[in-house]
Amino acid sequence: MATKKIFDICIIGSGITGSLVADHFLSKGLNVVMLERGNDIYLPDTQERLWYEAWQQHSNNPAIYRNYWHNAEKYFDDLVEVENVHKEFGFHYNMKYGLGGSGAVWSGASWRFTPDDFKTKTLFGYGRDWPFTIEELAPYYAKVEQIFFTSGPQNEPAWLWQNHYKYPAFKQSYLDKVVKKVFAPEFNIIPNAFSVKNLPPVAGGCVGSKTCVQKCPANARFRPDLHILHKYFEDDNFTLLMNTPCFKVNLDKNNTVASVSTLQNGSEKEVKAKYYFLATNTIENLRILHNSADDKPVANSSGLLGHFFASHGAVAMSVILHERLFVGRGRPTTSSAINTLNHKDRDKFNAYMMEIWNFDWGVGITPSAILRKIRKTERHWGVSLFNKVKEADYRFAATLIFEMEMQQRNKVTLSNVKDKFGLPLAKVDFKLGERDELTFDTLKHKTVAMLRQKKGVKDIKVPGYGLNGNHPLGGYVCGEDPKNSVVDSFMRSHDHNNLYILGGGAFNSTSALNPTHTIAALTLKALDDKRISF
Amino acid sequence: MQHLIRRDFLKLSLISFLSTFFGCSRSLELSQDINSAIKEEAFGYFLEVVFPTHLFGLQKYQKNVIRLLKNLNSSESKKVVRSYHRFKDKYKNEHGSFDSYTLAKGENVISQLLTTRFFSGHSKAVNQALDIIYEQIGRIRELQSDFWGRKYSSAGKMCIYWHNYDQPVT
């Protein structure tokens, strides 16, 4: 059954990309329908995000990078699940459905990719070049930095690219300064960029609560639902359909998208529009597209839909220094080292960076949480236990994050397992490549061993390593050649001229940096496509 | 009837044997409540090994811990009392009395109790008791600041060091 109304724009997904699309067209007075599979997000009032507990529980499993919420189902009744073909280094997706999507629960880390990330094939002989340079994407990055009220360093000498931040960077913590001294010269610890208002608390700025991902008590971290969609809730041109999973894209005889099929209150309904923007997460976009292929493939004339899937690799370190750090103060993280992104051996192994945390999330923030955690996981007692609690003020987490080579063999298809709506889950077939293996090995052993030898370091443990469950990338790679890519340089499907497929799936390289900023920049680039006309 | 008597005799003998062998008086550890256990001098030694307040300058919190232990539910308090008795009996077995008590001796006893022994169940039971006690210690809000000798900042609230987190705490 089809709805009678034909909208100007149909957006599937209400996260960061979907909200940017809605903002763009609603501000022009166009008619927009947004389909959101989930409901409004319920965030627990208890401010204790317990994924670090899960970290410990799953420490024997290399695939620990899924940010488990304690009793996740209690908070989210509809998590994005995948089936992994290979259990080791499986991709455990952390995303959930709900208003604001993963943008409602992101850290705010706002890196631009480096110039070299856009041409790894040309420069280093691996991966895929993007069909445009960073210079072409720069104006969109700049816009994002304003829309997302990003705070970052101005004229940072270690920066590899230009920025256009709205607010200055947050101060580096005392811990950052000590670590900078200890880890030099191999790692140059500099301030991060975050889409978090660096304003005084009375002006709605960050208050350093350490619960950024879960919930910002000051609403200072950019959220698409709060900071974009709320503006339009009273707008007659905006139709927001919650609890409405989209499961299929329907084509007409001209190979353009005629409608999308949804489930509304258990009934199948079609929604029609002139343009369609698939703006769910990478995995969900791929599910919908694969599930749409009845008689003929959708967005898959190249045969590459689902291929080149990747994520970020990470090695977590729990570091104890001889110098006291006064941990757990300020934001959860304020600094990183990025001088390793363009290291001299990038033709052999992947780019990497180091994230510095202002506490060791492996054990917690407050002394009592640390006491319980060390007791529970390490079984210390008596003098030894209390010494460990004291030692926690000298202890922090650092994460080595690295890019992964996008290989054609790694792919996302459909599983035989069904979700609660009877729709097939995504099946992830991912294996580390040679470069990835070498990078893992180098970071896990050589780099950690090198850091252990540093004068100020008492001990470093590696509590876990694995795939980042927050950063699914690739699967509908972009390019100018329809035979070699799924979307073009404006994220429009090569096969269907009214279908745009947004998100990290369009990436041609993963970089080692958080992808959200680039996802947003690509979205603004797509919206600049002159072929969209009314 | 004969076989019942024989069975009970065997059961009693076995309990007696186990009690002797493992150095614990089961009847007392099962019957004593936490309030009376806490009053015993040896309980103070037991608690000092578990929570060495003197060593960390945290003596003032001993009372808080005892107050919290008194409020344990029946199941938890039984576990604590049982482990305390195992500690006391073993300590006496090894050192005769608590007259020459030292922290090191007490630690050695707990260490032995925590060492897994086939069929003994000591390790699990004592570990459970320690979990219960440390859970209670973690609940003492005022103690948190003294752990690090500085204030701590809770997650989810404005950081109390927000204005000077870039400086060491003086």
Beta strand A335-337 pairing with A411-418:
unpaired
A48 chain-B contacts, CB cut-off 8 A: 155-156
Please compute the mean of the pLDDT values over residues B20-37 and round it to a whole number. Answer: 63
Nearest CB neighbour to B165, from listed A324, A330, A385 = A330
pLDDT digits (tens, 9 = 90+) for A317-331: 999 999 999 999 999
B148 chain-A contacts, CB cut-off 8 A: 367, 389-390, 392-393
Structure tokens of A314? 């990470």
Please compute the mean of the pLDDT values over residues B86-107 and round it to a whole number. Answer: 95
Note the pLDDT of residue B24.
45
Q: Which residue has the higher pLDDT, A59 or A29?
A: A29
pLDDT digits (tens, 9 = 90+) for A170-218: 999 999 999 999 999 999 999 999 999 999 999 999 999 887 877 788 9
Note the pLDDT of residue B119.
55
State whether A382 and B110 contact (CB < 8 Å).
Answer: yes
* Separation in Å, CA of B153 to nearest CA in chain A: 7
Would you say B165 and A171 are in contact if contact means Cβ atoms under 8 Å apart? yes
Report the run of H or E that residue B22 belongs to, with start and end: helix B2-22
Please compute the mean of the pLDDT values over residues B43-70 and round it to a whole number. Answer: 94
Would you say A313 and A328 are in contact if contact means Cβ atoms under 8 Å apart? no
Q: Which residue has the higher pLDDT, A493 or A2?
A: A493
State whether B167 and A174 contact (CB < 8 Å).
Answer: yes
Q: What is the pTM of this model?
A: 0.89
Question: Residue B15: is its pLDDT beyond 70?
Answer: no
Nearest CB neighbour to A209, from listed B147, B158, B165 = B158
Question: Residue A448: is its pLDDT beyond 70?
Answer: yes
B159 chain-A contacts, CB cut-off 8 A: 207-210, 329-331
Please compute the mean of the pLDDT values over residues B135-148 and round it to a whole number. Answer: 90
Q: How many CB atoms lie within 10 A of CB A30?
A: 17
- Average pLDDT over chain B reads 83
Note the pLDDT of residue A477.
98
Note the pLDDT of residue B16.
41
Note the pLDDT of residue B115.
83
Q: How many CB atoms lie within 10 A of CB A203?
A: 9
Would you say A398 and A311 are in contact if contact means Cβ atoms under 8 Å apart? no
Q: Is A393 helix (H, G, I), strand (E, B) or coil?
A: helix
Q: What residues of chain B have any CB closer than 8 angstroms to a CB in chain A?
A: 49-52, 55-56, 103, 107, 110, 114, 127, 130-131, 134-135, 137-140, 143-144, 147-148, 150, 152-159, 161-162, 165-169
Please compute the mean of the pLDDT values over residues A102-130 and round it to a whole number. Answer: 94
- State what percent of residues in chain B have pLDDT above 90: 64
Handedness of CA A105, A281, A137, A411 (dihedral sign): positive
Q: Is A164 exposed, middle or buried (0-12, 13-18, 19+ CB in 10 A)?
A: middle
What is the spatial distance between Cα B147 and Cα A2, in angstroms, rounded to a whole number?
Answer: 64
**Can you state the percent helix, strand and coil of chain B, rounding each to 5?**
70, 0, 30
Note the pLDDT of residue A118.
97
Taking CA atoms, what residue in B is nearest to A215? B156
Note the pLDDT of residue A99.
86
Q: Which of A23-27, A58-62, A65-69, B70-74 reaches the highest mean pLDDT?
A: A23-27
For residue B28, name the pLDDT band (cuts at 50, 70, 90).
Answer: low
Q: Is A143 helix (H, G, I), strand (E, B) or coil?
A: helix
What single-letter amino acid sits at A123? L
What is the spatial distance between Cα A340 and Cα A402, in angstroms, rounded to a whole number?
Answer: 10
Report the run of H or E that residue B10 belongs to, with start and end: helix B2-22
Question: Residue B12: is its pLDDT beyond 80?
Answer: no
CA angle A472, A476, A479 (to 5 degrees): 125
Residue A304 Cα distances to A75, A298, A411, A482, angstroms: 36, 11, 9, 10
Note the pLDDT of residue A259.
97
Task: Show me where the domains of chain B are located.
Answer: 2-142
Note the pLDDT of residue B11.
45
Please compute the mean of the pLDDT values over residues A72-97 and round it to a whole number. Answer: 69
What single-letter amino acid sits at A358? N
Q: Which residue has the higher pLDDT, B166 or B14?
A: B166
Taking CA atoms, what residue in B is nearest to A332? B155
| Cα Rg of chain A (Å, integer) | 23
Please compute the mean of the pLDDT values over residues A268-292 and round it to a whole number. Answer: 96
Question: Residue A57: is its pLDDT beyond 80?
Answer: no
Order of all β-strands in the sheet with A335-337? A189-191, A335-337, A352-356, A395-402, A313-321, A457-467
CB pairs < 8 Å spanning A and B: 125
Q: Among A521-530, B146-155, B158-167, which is the least confidently predicted range?
A: B146-155
Q: Which residue has the higher pLDDT, A149 or A464?
A: A149
* Cβ-Cβ contacts under 8 Å for B135 (sequence gap 6 or more): A372
Question: Residue A429: is its pLDDT beyond 60?
Answer: yes
Q: Which residue has the higher pLDDT, B16 or A256?
A: A256
State whether A47 and B157 contact (CB < 8 Å).
Answer: yes
A326 chain-B contacts, CB cut-off 8 A: 150, 161, 168-169
Taking CA atoms, what residue in B is nearest to A333? B165
Please compute the mean of the pLDDT values over residues B29-42 and round it to a whole number. Answer: 85
What is the spatial distance between Cα A192 and Cα B127, in angstroms, rounded to a whole number?
Answer: 43
* Separation in Å, CA of A161 to nearest CA in chain B: 26
Would you say A93 and A104 are in contact if contact means Cβ atoms under 8 Å apart? no
Give one word for A220, left, alpha or beta, with left for phi > 0 and alpha for psi -120 to 50. alpha
Note the pLDDT of residue B118.
52
Note the pLDDT of residue A213.
78
pLDDT digits (tens, 9 = 90+) for A211-249: 787 778 899 999 999 999 999 999 999 999 998 999 999
Instruction: From A39, A104, A43, A105, select the one nearest A245 (Cα to Cα).
Output: A39
State whether B154 and A366 contact (CB < 8 Å).
Answer: yes
Please compute the mean of the pLDDT values over residues B38-48 and round it to a whole number. Answer: 96
Nearest CB neighbour to B147, from listed A217, A326, A390 = A390
pLDDT digits (tens, 9 = 90+) for B16-26: 444 444 444 45
Concatenating the DSSP letter of every residue in A120-134 gives HHHHHS-S---SS-H
Nearest CB neighbour to B166, from listed A47, A171, A376 = A171
For residue B124, name the pLDDT band (cuts at 50, 70, 90).
Answer: confident
- Domains of chain A (ranges; CATH) run 2-527 (3.50.50.60)
What is the spatial distance between Cα A346 and Cα A518, in angstroms, rounded to a whole number?
Answer: 21
* Separation in Å, CA of B147 to nearest CA in chain A: 6
Q: Which residues of A65-103 are buried (b: 16+ CB within 10 A; e: fewer)?
A: bbbbbbebeebbebbbebbbbeeebbbbbbbbbbbbbbb
Nearest CB neighbour to B158, from listed A208, A366, A393 = A208
What is the spatial distance between Cα A400 and Cα A98, in angstroms, rounded to a whole number?
Answer: 30
Question: Residue B117: is its pLDDT beyond 70?
Answer: no
Taking CA atoms, what residue in A is nearest to B56? A386
For residue A157, name the pLDDT band (cuts at 50, 70, 90).
Answer: confident
pLDDT digits (tens, 9 = 90+) for A294-347: 878 999 999 999 999 999 999 999 999 999 999 999 999 999 999 999 999 999
Would you say A188 and A166 are in contact if contact means Cβ atoms under 8 Å apart? no
Q: Among A11-20, A280-289, A401-410, B123-132, which is the least confidently predicted range?
A: B123-132
What is the spatial distance between Cα A392 and Cα A361, in angstroms, rounded to a whole number?
Answer: 11
Alpha helices in A149-298 (DSSP H): 174-183, 224-227, 282-292
What is the spatial distance between Cα A473 and Cα B97, in angstroms, rounded to a whole number?
Answer: 67
* Separation in Å, CA of B142 to nearest CA in chain A: 10
- Average pLDDT over chain A reads 90
Please compute the mean of the pLDDT values over residues A57-81 and round it to a whole number. Answer: 44
Nearest CB neighbour to B165, from listed A48, A174, A367 = A174
Query: What torsion, rounded to 10 degrees, do the Cα atoms A211, A23, A280, A410 define?
Result: -90
Note the pLDDT of residue B27.
53
